[in-house]
Amino acid sequence: MKKFIIFDNGGKTHDRYTIINKETGDVFAASENPYDSKGVGNLVGNCASHKIVLHGAGWRQKLPLKKVIHAEVENYVNNARLDPDWIGKEVSGKPLPEGIKKYIAELEGNDNAQQTKTNNTHAEKHPKQHAEGVAH
C-alpha cells in the first residue's frame, strides 16, 4: 500500500475513498466495499493526463517522464491536503475497511501484472537481447 495515497470524504458520496497511485498518477474512486452489488471501484482518471502530448501523425500518445508524473501527483496530493472538502482527508494510520484493502491489493496486483506483461512483450520483440542479458 506504499504505492498509494488514500483519501476519505467521510461518506459524503457513495465513492467515499479516493486512491491515488503515486507511481502512475492513476486516480481511483471506491466505496467502502467495492465488491458489493451496489459498490463502486473505478478508475476516474490520471492526475498527469494533461501532460500527455500527441506526436507523430497526431494519433500516438507520448507519456510524460516519471519525474513529471511524480511532480503532478505531489501537486494533486498537496491540493487535496489543503482542501479537505475536495476529496476528503488523507487516511494514514487509520484502519481501512477490508473491502478497500482487498481492492488496493488488486490494484497492486494489476500494476505488477502490467509491468510483467510489458517486460514479456519486450522480451518477445528482442529475444536475442534477453538471451544475452542485455536490457534496454
In this structure, is residue 31 part of a structural domain? Answer: yes
Q: Cα separation of 62 and 52, whole Å? A: 6
In this structure, is residue 132 part of a structural domain? Answer: no
Total Cβ atoms within 10 A of residue 25? 23
Model confidence at 136, pLDDT cuts 50, 70, 90, reads very low
In this structure, is residue 26 part of a structural domain? Answer: yes
In this structure, is residue 136 part of a structural domain? Answer: no
- 3-state secondary structure at position 58: coil
In this structure, is residue 10 part of a structural domain? Answer: yes
Nearest one of 39, 48, 40 to 20, comparing CA atoms: 48
Cβ atoms of residues 34 and 41 within 8 Å = yes
Parent domain of 85? 4-126
In this structure, is residue 135 part of a structural domain? Answer: no
Work out how many domains the chain is built from and give that number: 1
Q: What is the CA radius of gyration of the chain?
A: 18
Range from 41-45, 67-71, 86-90, 122-126 carrying the lowest mean pLDDT: 122-126
The pTM score is: 0.74
In this structure, is residue 77 part of a structural domain? Answer: yes
pLDDT number for residue 57: 64
Q: Cα separation of 32 and 49, whole Å? A: 27
In this structure, is residue 30 part of a structural domain? Answer: yes
The residue whose grid cell reads 488488486 is: 106
